[in-house]
Structure 1
Amino acid sequence: MGANPRPILFVSYAESGLLNPLLVLAEELSRRGVADLWFAADEKARGEVEAAGVDSAVRFASLGETVSQMSAVTWDDETYAEVTQRSRFKAHRAVIKHSFAPRSRIGKYRALEKIVEEVRPALMVIESMCQFGHELAITKSIPFVLGVPFVPSNVLTSHVPFAASYTPSGFPVPHSGLPGVMTFRQRIENELFRVRTLGMFMTSSVRKVVEEDNRIRTELGIAPKARQMMARIDHAEMVLCYSVPELDYPFPMHEKMRLVGTMVPPLPQAPEDDGLSDWLSEQKSVVYMGFGTVTRLTREQVGSLVDVARRLAAAGHQVLWKLPRSQQELLPPAEELPDGLRIESWVPSQLDVLAHPNVKVFFTHAGGNGYHEGLYFGKPLVVRPLWVDCDDQAVRGQDFGVSLTLDRPETVDADDVLDKITRVLDEPSFTERAEHFAGLLHDAGGRAAAADLLLGLPALATH
């Protein structure tokens, strides 16, 4: 592997919501001709990583095949139902239950350890959810930058009481979906969220997993300082967050946090799109429906959304729906689909779609990337929150006047969906507010600002 004394090693899970922002940053560095760029991820990301090389190569370092506990798209239907249920605490607990599997990360840690020994990176850029990545960087004393695709408080707020936290007391706990200004009942709920999370780790079943985790950390040689609650923040050279302060509730920002806005590559990202951009240009008003790679709709929910498209068409609005091929079998017969509905199993670039002026509303699950991408292009949102951070983005979007959230997201009631979409389309304030935040996200600098910050770090100094 590389012999340059200043290699940069990116590390990420292969899930698109986590991987994509780091790919944009790696591509920007490549476009600037930065040498010795490496990217460690699961084997399935090989093609995307290698495609990020523009003027200098981005070399792929394989972490092996995907481990189920680390990939929500591989979870069975029972697990999916548990982690996406509407009780936010129960869903939060289910995510911990299914992803807290210490033995599953042994192979990833060892694979990354071998890559690090061969590449000898001067700097690592690690996706915030990639625990084995920051554990290894801290243990090996390798300077690293943490990449965060969520609002900043997501990684600065503790989930349990009495632990280090970099937001004020009473701040909404991540995954709680609670607002910044709470009623007395909500404040109690917020505190109970922390207490119940701590209580979960005191049950006999979870304590056994914690004990196993401690044994495995010792077996891997992970430094004790890497095990602390806020280790990934405390030991990072810098925390790159793809948001802006105004899209979170106010709090004193951590000194290491650098908010650079949405990570967007040069557009068009996919000029060859099989006529999709031409179709968008032929319409006057398009509602784009895209719910990420994890969402699994039922036949009833698909039927409700077809009904919504039919009723929107009657009002002069077209619908572009990104619906995975595996779920298209739930659609009614083709002859029963409304003329105003275009269904794609995959769009070559969601960013190109959102950038199109005829797209007026983004109907989304409000994952970290989708939420910020929609607003970057000034598109107001209608939100069907899916899980974990989606509820947090949904409540902020509604409070900041850029979105409305479904009253009954679990059923996808057609009347509820149509009401929210129609209100966002008809009330100018939603677009005005979205365009306001678009200006802030653009001004933050995006990929260019992130690359400048990275290249300015002492770890990459050449003398």
Structure 2
Amino acid sequence: MSTAQRPILFVSLPESGLLNPMLVLARELAQRGTADLWFATDEPRRTDVQRLAGRTPVEFASLGEVFSELSAVSWDDRVYREVTQPSRFKAHRAVIRQSYRPDLQAEKYRRLESAVEKIGPALMVIESMSSFAVDLALTKNIPFVLSVPFLPSNVLTSHNPFGTSYTPKSFPVPHSGLPFPMNFRQRLGNHLFKLRTLALFLNPSMGKVLSEDARIRKELGLPAPSPMTRIDRAEMILCNSVPELDYPFEVPEKMKLVGAVMPPLPEGPAGAADGGLGTWLDARSSVVYMGFGTITRLTRHQVGALVEVARRLDGTHDILWKLPEEQQHLLPARESLPGNLRIESWVPSQLDVLAHPAVKVFFTHGGGNGFHEGVYFGKPLVVRPLWVDCFDQAVRGQDFGISLTLDRPQTIDPDDVVDKLTRVLGDPSFRRRAEKLGELQRAAGGRAAAADLILDLPALR
């Protein structure tokens, strides 16, 4: 049995793509009997944390209610349109403007500070987007591990053309969706992306936010912000990827690439308890699984286009579509839906679906978790990039021969979708490459390797 001398405190924002790998890792430690485990996140995730109990419990530390301004799931339609617009830089800029809220970050900092004073952690495991938690760990001199559910270059590449970066200067900047190596025009676009990001923070309206941030930091006694401080000061960086899924560069020693962090499978119920989904999959030979994450909001036109895609594939492939209940009113009349289409508002486990041998391709938005999960199970992808990092995963998947990307992801042209799905389904090289990368992910060790690395840190000896 592994025991820590003092508590381990996990900290994450509540979004599923950020939180889920952290929950898996905390549960792994609980199953091993690691003592004094705590998990701090927003109040609506209390039940998810309480379910983690294994040989030892995982205690919940509430960071209060979700701030809608910081949660992409609750952004209004105007903001959603801005952060998912076709221009990659403008979408990147919109995300920064929406989420850079020093006042709200400070509130989460104060709530976490209260929890830390009570818990006295020996180590914090911090999801990489939880900047307030990094600030607290630095201020209180608490050793911390950074958890990264993205490609390794996502956190190692500077957006500032003059800033420190762990990747080469010619490396594609995160959220640009650019390949590597690049032609002259792409290199120019990459440099301009960095310059425009720098200019964004020189804008007078952003200057007011920066002044507010400086005032709050002085009040709380926080260090000046620096993009690479979280990397430089971390005891270790756990990245849920493998080198072969990113463009080549020298990864720092402190970054440990453990592949996708998966729970034991099957994860969901079987038989009648899963609504008959497992039986339905067992009876099919070729299924396209469509799942676009928790943030995607489809329009009536886009929903209709995807129904048309299913209709055109009827007779050759079946379609399983995870479509949230609140978007199902956009569907045409049920009696007009093609017979090969099964729509679920919720599936007991997306991982169980992707693991099923009948699923031949994953039609996804290309987020960090979905991208790595699909490849983990050896499934080739068709990607409809939604925003920011989705474009980065999409271009790598296409360059590595495991996926194709829609030409017009905003409109969803049925001709385009059917073409991409047919090509991926018909060319066995996509599956072979995906299966090879899946083998590399599984060999990296996932949750078991991540847990071993954490328990071996000096802070817990």
Give the TM bin, normalised by the shorter chain: over 0.9
- Aligned-partner residue type, residue 276 of structure 2: G
Superposed, which structure 2 residues align to 1:28-427 within 5 Å? 28-224=28-224, 227-271=225-269, 272-314=273-315, 316-427=316-427
Separation in structure 2 between the aligned mates of residue 54 and residue 455 of structure 1, nearest angstrom: 17
- Aligned-partner residue type, residue 24 of structure 1: V
Contact 2:5–2:460 at 8 Å: present in 1 too?
no
Offset, 1:220: 1.6
Offset, 1:56: 1.1
Offset, 1:48: 0.7
Offset, 1:68: 1.5
Separation in structure 2 between the aligned mates of residue 275 and residue 47 of structure 1, nearest angstrom: 26
Runs of 5+ in structure 1 lacking a partner? none
Separation in structure 1 between the aligned mates of residue 400 and residue 110 of structure 2, nearest angstrom: 44
Per the alignment, in what secondary structure is the counterpart of residue 60 of structure 1?
A: strand
Per the alignment, in what secondary structure is the counterpart of residue 314 of structure 2?
A: helix
- Aligned-partner residue type, residue 249 of structure 1: Y
Normalised by the size of structure 1, how large is the TM-score?
0.97
Runs of 5+ in structure 2 lacking a partner? none
Counting aligned pairs with the same residue, the percent is: 67
Separation in structure 1 between the aligned mates of residue 401 and residue 85 of structure 2, nearest angstrom: 26
Normalised by the size of structure 2, how large is the TM-score?
0.98
Aligned Cα root-mean-square deviation (Å): 1.0
Contact 2:237–2:255 at 8 Å: present in 1 too?
yes
Per the alignment, in what secondary structure is the counterpart of residue 86 of structure 1?
A: coil
Separation in structure 2 between the aligned mates of residue 132 and residue 14 of structure 1, nearest angstrom: 14
Separation in structure 1 between the aligned mates of residue 139 and residue 370 of structure 2, nearest angstrom: 33
Separation in structure 1 between the aligned mates of residue 288 and residue 55 of structure 2, nearest angstrom: 37
Separation in structure 2 between the aligned mates of residue 155 and residue 395 of structure 1, nearest angstrom: 17
- Aligned-partner residue type, residue 306 of structure 2: L
Ranges of 4+ aligned residues in structure 1 off by more than 3 Å: none
- Aligned-partner residue type, residue 249 of structure 2: F
Separation in structure 1 between the aligned mates of residue 170 and residue 148 of structure 2, nearest angstrom: 22
- Aligned-partner residue type, residue 384 of structure 1: R
- Aligned-partner residue type, residue 291 of structure 2: G
Separation in structure 2 between the aligned mates of residue 313 and residue 130 of structure 1, nearest angstrom: 44
Check if 1:428 corresponds to 2:428.
Answer: yes
Separation in structure 2 between the aligned mates of residue 90 and residue 169 of structure 1, nearest angstrom: 22
- Aligned-partner residue type, residue 56 of structure 2: S
Separation in structure 1 between the aligned mates of residue 136 and residue 335 of structure 2, nearest angstrom: 55
- Aligned-partner residue type, residue 234 of structure 1: D
Work out the number of aligned pairs and report it. Answer: 456
1:270-305, CA deviations, whole angstroms, 9 ceiling, x for partnerless residues?
124222111100111100000000000000000000
Separation in structure 2 between the aligned mates of residue 307 and residue 220 of structure 1, nearest angstrom: 55
1:380-422, CA deviations, whole angstroms, 9 ceiling, x for partnerless residues?
0000000010000000000000000000001000010000000
Offset, 1:312: 1.1
Offset, 1:223: 2.7
Separation in structure 1 between the aligned mates of residue 444 and residue 421 of structure 2, nearest angstrom: 29
Per the alignment, in what secondary structure is the counterpart of residue 98 of structure 1?
A: helix
Offset, 1:5: 4.3
Separation in structure 2 between the aligned mates of residue 5 and residue 246 of structure 1, nearest angstrom: 37
